[in-house]
Each structure stands twice: as C-alpha cells, then as structure tokens.
Amino acid sequence: EAGVAQSPRYKIIEKRQSVAFWCNPISGHATLYWYQQILGQGPKLLIQFQNNGVVDDSQLPKDRFSAERLKGVDSTLKIQPAKLEDSAVYLCASSLSAGTDTQYFGPGTRLTVL
Amino acid sequence: DAKTTQPPSMDCAEGRAANLPCNHSTISGNEYVYWYRQIHSQGPQYIIHGLKNNETNEMASLIITEDRKSSTLILPHATLRDTAVYYCVLTSYGKLTFGQGTILTVHP
C-alpha cells in the first residue's frame, strides 16, 4: 500500500515570496492533516480536513497560510507571503476517518526562508 | 500544550530492551495513548497505541498502568536503526498534540 506522498521534499525561498506544498494521502483516507514542525520541536497541527471540509484550523495563521482539499483527495498548503519564522518541516498525514483512527505521515517538505 | 511528559534522552545497548516511560497524569477517559517515532529527516512513524489494556505488535509492546496515568513503550531487542525521537501522544477525536519526545540512542 502506498504511503502519504508529499512534494517537493525541499524548498528554499526568500522572505515575502509565496510557496505551495502538495500532499496525496493514502487511498481511501477521508481525513487529512497538515502539521508544522520547527527544528527541535514536535509537530504542531495546522489544519484538519474531513473529505473536502475543514474540521479544525484553529492553529492556522490565516493571514498568510491557506489550505484546500477541493475534491476530497489531494491537498495543497500555501504560504503567502513567507516570513523567516516559517522555516520548518511541513508534514502531511492522513487517516481513515477522524476520531481514534491512526494517522500516517508523509516524509515532509523542508522549507527554508532566507 | 502537550499533555505528556517524557525524559529528554535515553541510551540503550544494542540487543537489549529499551523501556521508554511517559507520564500522562491528566489523561481523560476517552483519550488513547499513541506512540510514534521520528528518524532524522523522515516523517513520524506509527508504532503502537492503546486505551486501557497492554498491547503488543511486531514492533513493540505498550504497557499502560491501571490508573492510566503513565505508560511504557518497550522495544524488546533494540537495534541501531531504532535510534530516533520517540513521541508519546494522547489523542481524542483525531487531534494529536506532540511534546518534545525522548531521543533514544542505541549504542553498539
């Protein structure tokens, strides 16, 4: 069974530029999550989707971050404009459904903002 | 804020059992205990989870105390490839809140 796919794996941009990350969850998984992991810390949830609807985006900095999952499968996370403090690994995870179903993570995208 | 407390680092000799503790004294009745690990430059990998009973799978065993206020992850025969950051996470309704985790170093 294929795992969660993410691209790109690495991205370097200058501050005030925009960037987008893509995630393809495990086939059949209705719930999709985006996490931000700053160096030396555990992952922090940014947004949770159930199919194509947002369940929780309370930790998403909505002035610069946006995410969508239009057809309930793939998802994109965008940052516009980027700040230095956005340098982090952005992880995508998916699960069969919300609740107690196990989340499976992708390899992440490492973003460096100069 | 994370609801679990783990030691920042632990060492283990290759071939020996690694016992990683986790305190979760404020756990709610509907919260599961999950363990993930993260090897450098990779996403977190699911290891095991449980609610009340002890659990075992091909990777590890999970021992949860009767009062559910603490748990221990056991890697029965640690190898060098088990060197990673191990996270103990509580979850209900799908929300994972990660703490700092334990850096486990397995020595030859």
Angle ∠(A94,A95,A98) on CA atoms, nearest 5: 120
Residues B67, B49: Cα–Cα separation, whole Å = 16
> What region, left, alpha or beta, does residue A96 occupy, with left being phi > 0 and alpha being psi -120 to 50 degrees?
alpha
Please list every residue in chain A whose beta carbon sits closer than 8 Å to the beta carbon of residue B91.
Answer: 100
Q: Name the residue of chain A whose CA is nearest to B90's CA.
A: A100
Q: What are the structure tokens assigned to B43, written together?
A: 């996403």
More confident residue, B76 or B97: B76
Please list every residue in chain B whose beta carbon sits closer than 8 Å to the beta carbon of residue A105.
Answer: 36, 43-46
- How confident is the model over B83-107, as pLDDT tens digits? 999 999 998 777 888 888 999 999 9
Residues B60, A14: Cα–Cα separation, whole Å = 43
Residues B68, A103: Cα–Cα separation, whole Å = 22
CA distances from B3 to B39, B75, B82 (A): 22, 23, 25
- How confident is the model over A7-31, as pLDDT tens digits? 999 999 999 999 999 999 999 999 9
Check CB contact of A25 with chain B, cutoff 8 Å: no
> What region, left, alpha or beta, does residue B83 occupy, with left being phi > 0 and alpha being psi -120 to 50 degrees?
beta
- How confident is the model over A33-84, as pLDDT tens digits? 999 999 999 999 999 999 989 999 999 999 999 999 988 899 999 999 999 9
**What are residue A76's DSSP bridge partners?**
A22, A68
Angle ∠(A48,A50,A56) on CA atoms, nearest 5: 35
For residue A100, the model assigns a pLDDT of 66
Q: Name the residue of chain A whose CA is nearest to B102's CA.
A: A42
Please list every residue in chain A whose beta carbon sits closer than 8 Å to the beta carbon of residue B93.
Answer: 98-100
- Torsion sign, CA atoms A26, A28, A31, A32: positive
pLDDT exceeds cutoff 80 at B2: no
Residues B105, B108: Cα–Cα separation, whole Å = 10
Mutate to test the interface with B, among A101, A105, A109 (most CBs of B within 10 A): A105
Check CB contact of A93 with chain B, cutoff 8 Å: yes
**Looking at CA atoms only, how far is residue B78 from chain A in angstroms?**
23
- How confident is the model over B6-48, as pLDDT tens digits? 999 999 999 999 999 999 999 988 889 999 999 988 999 999 9
